Structure formats: C-alpha cells, structure tokens
Amino acid sequence: VKMLQDLRLSFEHQRLYLHYQPQVSLPDGKPVGCEALIRWRDDQGRYIPPDVFIPLAERSGIIATIGEWVMRTAFSQAHLLHRSGFTRLRMAVNVSVIQFRSGGFLETLDRALLDSGVNPELIELEITESVAMLEADYLLDMLKQIKSRGVQVAIDDFGTGFSSLSYLQRLSIDRLKIDRAFVDQLCESQDSRSIAEMVIELSHSLNLQVIAEGVEEQQQAERLAELGCHEAQGYFYAKPMEADALLRWLMNQE
Ligand code: G
Ligand code: G
Ligand code: MN
Ligand code: NA
C-alpha cells in the first residue's frame, strides 16, 4: 500500500521516465529500432525495477494511466528521432495485458498516435503470451484493429508461456521476441538452444519476424544469425539509455 501511494505520487510528480534500448538487424548489427522501458526512482532516490511495480500498478488499475503516459512519451520520442534523420527507426512499447483488455485502449492508442504525429507503421506494441488467456474473439478483433492502423505487434518473452501454435497463426502479429532466458544459455545448454531454434523455425514458417533479447556476447549474436534470427537486442549492442544518449548512440553507428 505504501509503495502504491509512492508510485501514484511519483507519477504525479513526473518521477517516472523512459529508457530506450536499441534493436539491431543480424548479422550486420545496424540499428532498426528501440524498446521503451519504464524506470522509477522513488523520492529517496531508490531505483525500483518494473518487475516490482508494474504488477502493483496492474492490480491497482493505475496501469491504464501509466500505460497511456508511456505510449504518449515513447511515440513523441519516436517522432523526434524520425525528424532527426532516423526516419525508419521502429519504437516498441510494452503493453500490459490488463491495459490491453481495458475498454478504451484503442481510443488511447489513436489519441497518442495523432497527438505525437508519429507514423503508426514505425510503432510496435509488445504484448506477452498471457494475452492468450483473453477471449479469442476479443483478442482477434483487437489485433485486427491495431493492424488496421498500421501499428506492428510483437509477442514478448516468447517461449515462456503456452501459446497454442494454431492460435498463433490466426493472430495478426508481426514479430516474436525470444525470451532472454533462452539466449542467455544459448551456447551452453542444449535445451535453450533447441528452444531458440524452434522459435526461429516457427517464425520462418509462419512468415513472422523474430528478434532475440538479452544478447550479451558476440558468440550468441553469431549463433543467432546462423540460425536465421533477424534481429537482436541486448547489452552486447547497448544497454537501455536516456533519449539523448540514444540519439548520440545512433549518430555514432552511422
Ligand atoms: O527494463 P527491465 O528489464 O527492468 O524490465 C523488466 C520488465 O518490465 C520487462 O518484462 C518489461 O516488459 C517490463 N516493462 C518495462 N517497461 C514497461 C512498460 O512501460 N509497461 C509495461 N507494461 N511493462 C514494462
Ligand atoms: O520487456 P522485456 O521483458 O523484454 O524486458 C527487457 C528487459 O531486459 C529490460 O528490463 C532490459 O533492461 C533487460 N535487458 C536488456 N538487454 C539485456 C541483456 O543483455 N542482459 C540482461 N540480463 N538483461 C537485459
Ligand atoms: Mn519487452
Ligand atoms: Na522480454
């Protein structure tokens, strides 16, 4: 309860902020996008990770407000990057399943798109496999509506949930994100390697794009590229960073 009050106050006092982590194509390592990641430093200056406060925000309902702010901020930032010359850079935003199923999500999305002026085709929404628990018709319709705006959709942490494969084919999605748990052990564990291979193969056969997260070593990047993984994200390339640092990083890659 104390933490929730703190979170509310921090939000009101604009102490939440976003970091952006680059995403690159394989095997050339060229920037193709970035993921917006929420950050919170409480009033004592302590860093509280999103794994801790997002579930709290979801239970209390404040996630809708926070999620709207994340979209508006990230979309505006994306538009700024596009105008700075990075005209094809994709911006990925995490969307909580609670936010996704709440009425008014599409209206919020539309307002954020319109107000930011960003090209919707350069926006991606990351949802987790847990959306599979939503009612099928509702989910299919939501994804169709999102696609009709040109916005892309990725399934985050893929491989950790239990998505039914036949279901996956019917969903209008663009990209699978291989969970970093499998990338982490890619070169050590045969099981992780098999799962990564399977997700990449699945993406190819369903005509989806695939990105690996949590790439920390060159060897992992090389292995993923060999397997046909299209893109990567992780400390090996860059850590999540503030917007101005991202702009400098992008300029350095030119
Ligand atoms: O950046 P970090 O690894 O600490 O993020 C931890 C988790 O928090 C990730 O699973 C990520 O999906 C989630 N997360 C980060 N930013 C957001 C956000 O803006 N909204 C939601 N719903 N989840 C986020
Ligand atoms: O939304 P998602 O669950 O994908 O969250 C990504 C999280 O992974 C972010 O919190 C980000 O800070 C973290 N992350 C990104 N790259 C790496 C990496 O190379 N190694 C580790 N351990 N974590 C990473
Ligand atoms: Mn994510
Ligand atoms: Na993830």
User: Could you give the CA distance from residue 249 to residue 254 in angstroms, rounded to a whole number?
Assistant: 9
> How does strand 123-128 pair with strand 90-94?
parallel
Residue nearest to atom 13 of ligand 2 (CA): 214
Rounded distance from Cα 240 to ligand 2 centre (Å) = 8
Top mutation candidate among 21, 35, 38, 235 for ligand 1, by most atoms within 8 Å of CB: 38
Q: Which atom of ligand 1 is nearest to the CA of 38?
A: 16
Candidates 149, 154, 92, 102; CA nearest to 129 is 154
Global pTM reads: 0.96
User: Could you give the CA distance from residue 224 to residue 230 in angstroms, rounded to a whole number?
Assistant: 8
Residue nearest to atom 10 of ligand 1 (CA): 51
**Which tens digit of pLDDT belongs to each residue from 111-153?**
999 999 999 999 999 998 888 888 889 999 999 999 999 999 9
pLDDT of 167 above 90: no
Top mutation candidate among 17, 18, 19, 21 for ligand 2, by most atoms within 8 Å of CB: 21
The phi and psi torsions of 169 (rounded to 5 degrees) equal -65, -30
**Which tens digit of pLDDT belongs to each residue from 48-79?**
999 999 999 999 999 999 999 999 999 999 99
Residue nearest to atom 9 of ligand 2 (CA): 37
pLDDT of 213 above 80: yes
CATH of the domain at 68: 3.20.20.450
pLDDT of residue 162: 65
Amino acid at 164: S
Q: Where in the sequence is the domain holding 45, given as residue range(s)? A: 2-253
Whose tokens are 């690159």? That residue is 24
> How does strand 47-48 pair with strand 31-41?
antiparallel
Top mutation candidate among 213, 233, 236, 241 for ligand 2, by most atoms within 8 Å of CB: 213
Rounded distance from Cα 14 to ligand 4 centre (Å) = 25
Domain count, the chain: 1
DSSP H helical segments within the chain, as ranges?
Answer: 2-12, 50-60, 63-83, 97-101, 105-116, 136-148, 165-170, 180-184, 190-205, 218-227, 243-253
